[in-house]
Amino acid sequence: MYRNNTCGALRITDSNKEVVLSGWVHKSRDKGFVVWVDLRDRYGITQLVFDQERTSAQLLEKARSLGRESVIRVKGQVIERASKNPNIPTGEIEVLVSELTLLNESLLPPFTIEDETDGGEDIRMKYRYLDIRRNPVKENLVFRHKVSMEVRKYLSNQGFIDVETPYLIKSTPEGARDFLVPSRMNEGQFYALPQSPQTFKQLLMVGGMDKYFQIVKCFRDEDLRADRQPEFTQIDCEMAFVEQEDILNTFEGLTRHLLKEIKGVEVDTFPRITFDDAMKRYGNDKPDIRFGMEFGELNKVAQHKGFNVFNSAELVVGIAVPGAATYTRKEIDALIDWVKRPQVGAKGMVYVKCNEDGSFKSSVDKFYAQEDLANWAKETGAKAGDLICVLSGEVNKTRAQLSALRMELAERLGLRNPDEFAPLWVIDFPLLEHDEETGHYHAMHHPFTSPKPGQLELLDTDPGAVKANAYDLVLNGNEIGGGSIRIHDKETQAIMFKHLGFTEEEAKNQFGFLMDAFQYGAPPHGGIAFGLDRLVAILGGQETIRDFIAFPKNNSGRDVMIDAPATIDSEQLKELHLKLDL
């Protein structure tokens, strides 16, 4: 027997019991006549004591020679500690060891297995199995397990069936590149790994499954922006005979359940805001609404007063930063430099200090009277003591820049409280997005998303104006889920493909199976997918998804532990009928 208790289990009430424990040598203290060893496993730490008077000198010697992270098994008696440690649950007892077996010796680990380790990210990723022994990583994985169990519990109770879909498939257009897998048995042909199970879940609806879910890996070969993984996990869902309202209610329910069970937080309402409004009020389709600083559009009150920069701008827009009227010249200059960084890209920033006495002091006093600035304050909701920051230029760019500034200032002001949760739905997304580079339209969500009723005709005349039955669930400034009501008839789907630039032939080749299925009684259906990695990180009050993935990839998409991707030998290439051209 290796153990009859874990290292986190024993309490003072277990005193005198004979126990067997197994685990890792966390650390030891050698006082000469007595040696203490902290024995660790997933459940906690139990102190072992070896003492020459109560056990044997030989055993003491053996304990003394134990290296960190060695795996041992001990037998002994639970006794009350002389000096107790109130910081750990087993802190009142120790185990007086009578038998010690070294199960496996360990090399000296390349970093300390402590909550605060001396190991940098690279080395910890290379030895991720050692990193996982550390509490912060272990706890994150346990936390992720809890979240995914609650998801399964909730959805299963709501009648959703967990169905697996294949990984070796054909392209699913979610807007990224596919990861391809050559087929040995089918010369010159390739599978694509799913960017999502989108078409399969729709086929499951045609198959009458009615409510489907799956916690599933998706693969997208994108340039890795910060904190993206080439393979990531979705909570993927689809329902038949539903309208948008049914989906929103169901997944509001799931989100409520998770917030309550995992965080003990009850959320009253999930506000709904249209995409257009989100862009107007926050410059962002995933607004963080834990704090205000809503945009105030100033074209009416700031243009045609002699200030050319504003006169020639498509949009003049500002935010009121609470309590920031006290910023020094130096602080404001630093802020201006911040918005001018290439990552943000503003040309400059105009500011107004709203003084406590009701007067205003701005960087454009030459052009604007106090009444003008009072109007700016009104539009941005600024109060005495606030600082109004104003940007101007082309609409979309300026909004994105001011949104970046809003988030940065909120972070600096401590307004992005990780213990507060403010979910909302963003609805009525545009169906299509114009690609500046190619001049083409592509699906903003994906090509299976249905336009809002009655808008199909608009596709010919004003494609950019067509709204979709698509929705995103946003939590604390992150898109945690997104989905749509789908097209479920062949004709509409064909029109969509045409507008997305597919020839009939191409559409048939790529999605013929779906179009075929639509001819055999496809029910109206819709769904959503949540990004599990991000959701878990947010619920865990953290930013980086990598911290919640057991074996993540680095920023170049590499797994540095197993050293993948890697080259393959010429035999394998031949088998696959592949030649490299590097």
Helix (H), strand (E) at residue 333: helix 329-340
Residue of the chain from 22, 47, 380, 484 that contacts ligand ASP (CB under 6 A) = 484
Residue 7 or 242 with smaller CB distance to ligand ASP: 242
- The three-state secondary structure class of 496 is helix
Residue of the chain from 482, 496, 499, 539 that contacts ligand ASP (CB under 6 A) = 482
Query: CB 468 → ligand ASP: shortest distance, Å?
Result: 11
Q: How many CA atoms lie within 13 A of 24 on its CB side?
A: 17
Residue 232 or 351 with smaller CB distance to ligand ASP: 232
The piece of 104-112, 151-159, 372-380, 521-529 that touches ligand ASP (CB under 6 A) is 521-529
Q: 534 with 478: CB under 8 angstroms?
A: yes
Considering CB under 6 A, how many residues would be counted as binding ligand ASP?
9
Residue 523 corresponds to which amino acid?
Answer: P
Helix (H), strand (E) at residue 182: strand 180-182
The piece of 180-188, 497-505, 527-535, 541-549 that touches ligand ASP (CB under 6 A) is 527-535
Residue of the chain from 72, 130, 388, 528 that contacts ligand ASP (CB under 6 A) = 528
Residue of the chain from 46, 90, 165, 196 that contacts ligand ASP (CB under 6 A) = 196
Residue of the chain from 527, 535, 549, 552 that contacts ligand ASP (CB under 6 A) = 527
Residue 247 or 373 with smaller CB distance to ligand ASP: 247
Residue 175 or 345 with smaller CB distance to ligand ASP: 175
- The three-state secondary structure class of 517 is helix
Is 174 a binding residue for ligand ASP by CB under 6 A? The answer is yes
Query: CB 159 → ligand ASP: shortest distance, Å?
Result: 18
Strands (E), 463-578: 470-475, 478-485, 525-531
Query: CB 88 → ligand ASP: shortest distance, Å?
Result: 43
The piece of 144-152, 160-168, 310-318, 482-490 that touches ligand ASP (CB under 6 A) is 482-490
Residues 6 or more apart in contact with residue 565 via CB below 8 angstroms: 557, 558
CA distance linking residue 4 with residue 25, whole number of Å = 18
Query: CB 501 → ligand ASP: shortest distance, Å?
Result: 20
Is 198 a binding residue for ligand ASP by CB under 6 A? The answer is yes
Reported for 348-352, long-range contacts at CB under 8 A and 24+ positions apart, including other chains, are 348/309, 349/389, 349/390, 349/391, 349/405, 350/309, 350/310, 350/389, 350/390, 350/391, 350/392, 351/387, 351/388, 351/389, 351/390, 352/318, 352/376, 352/377, 352/382, 352/387, 352/388, 352/390
Residues 6 or more apart in contact with residue 217 via CB below 8 angstroms: 167, 231, 232, 233
Query: CB 174 → ligand ASP: shortest distance, Å?
Result: 5
Residue 317 or 480 with smaller CB distance to ligand ASP: 480
Q: What SS3 string covers 5-24? A: CCCCCCCHHHCCCEEEEEEE
The piece of 42-50, 294-302, 379-387, 524-532 that touches ligand ASP (CB under 6 A) is 524-532
Query: CB 463 → ligand ASP: shortest distance, Å?
Result: 20
Is 194 a binding residue for ligand ASP by CB under 6 A? The answer is no
Distance of CA 147 to the CA centre of its chain: 13
Query: CB 202 → ligand ASP: shortest distance, Å?
Result: 9
Q: Give the chain's radius of gyration (CA, Å).
A: 30
Query: CB 209 → ligand ASP: shortest distance, Å?
Result: 15
Query: CB 377 → ligand ASP: shortest distance, Å?
Result: 41
Is 529 a binding residue for ligand ASP by CB under 6 A? The answer is yes
Residue 391 corresponds to which amino acid?
Answer: L
Residue 38 or 174 with smaller CB distance to ligand ASP: 174
Query: CB 396 → ligand ASP: shortest distance, Å?
Result: 22
Is 483 a binding residue for ligand ASP by CB under 6 A? The answer is yes
| Burial tier of 219 (Cβ tally within 10 Å: 0-12, 13-18, 19+) | buried
Query: CB 546 → ligand ASP: shortest distance, Å?
Result: 20
Query: CB 237 → ligand ASP: shortest distance, Å?
Result: 7
Residues 6 or more apart in contact with residue 10 via CB below 8 angstroms: 17, 19, 46, 78, 90, 93, 95
| DSSP per-residue string spanning 88-134 | STTTTEEEEEEEEEEEE--PPPSS--SSS-S--HHHHHHTHHHHTTS
The piece of 32-40, 62-70, 478-486, 554-562 that touches ligand ASP (CB under 6 A) is 478-486
The piece of 26-34, 141-149, 318-326, 526-534 that touches ligand ASP (CB under 6 A) is 526-534
Residue 198 or 392 with smaller CB distance to ligand ASP: 198
Nearest to 317 by CA among 337, 294, 292: 294
| DSSP per-residue string spanning 72-83 | EEEEEEEEE-SS
Task: Please report, as ranges, the residues that interact with ligand ASP according to CB under 6 A.
Answer: 174, 196, 198, 482-484, 527-529
